[in-house]
Chains A and B, each alone.
Chain A
């Protein structure tokens, strides 16, 4: 099983600041099969980024993804109040698919 390790576990930031968090895979992952989800309390998760760097429909352009091989990251430029949530990386190129443990972006 591919283990995805996210860092940091928690990011404490203020609106307007930049957030960057990472995901390291225990094996090489094809870029086509690496995605990110945003999960707000009380809601279902939502697809944020697919194929490492492609924003899902309706996702603001302040979100960007990058990475290759085993190291991937997401940057949120100018945090908005609605961006405070938990973010999960997800690989589905090697069975079984797996999620990282999550990075919580919280209000400072």
Chain B
């Protein structure tokens, strides 16, 4: 059974760096894109971008370009989302998700449980 398991909740201060993880199991990790989706408190879903584990090709939503970085470690089937300087506005729930079909950027049918990130001084 395909599954994505994310790292636990984080509480950070503005300016801190952070890297959260998303570990895949039950399918060929290198074959499917992995997307990241943000939900700010009380708000809707936002497509942040997507990374292809096979070659680390990444596509960023312009709204997030330069604010976050995607990476993967194929040896442990894990994708990462990182920030180098958090802001209070980065507070939210972050989901990793896998598209239903190989080669697609959406129609995510496998989701991680979410990682809550709180940025507060």
Contacts and interface: CB of A to CB of B under 8 A. Distances in A.
- Do A and B form a real pair? yes
A41 B99 CA distance: 22
B47 A97 contact: yes
A39 B46 CA distance: 13
A45 B97 CA distance: 10
A97 B47 CA distance: 6
Interface in B103-121: 104-109, 111-114
A101 interface: yes
A88 interface: yes
Contacts of B100: 47, 50, 56
A104 B106 CA distance: 22
Most buried by A among B59, B100, B107, B114: B107
A102 B44 contact: yes
Interface string B21-47: 000000000000000010000001111
21 contacts: A33-B107, A35-B107, A37-B108, A39-B45, A44-B97, A44-B114, A45-B37, A45-B45, A45-B95, A45-B111, A50-B107, A57-B109, A88-B44, A90-B106, A92-B47, A92-B105, A95-B105, A97-B47, A97-B105, A97-B106, A101-B44
Interface of A: 1, 33, 35, 37, 39, 44-47, 50-51, 56-57, 86, 88, 90-92, 95-102
Interface of B: 37, 44-47, 49, 59, 61-63, 95, 97, 100, 104-109, 111-114
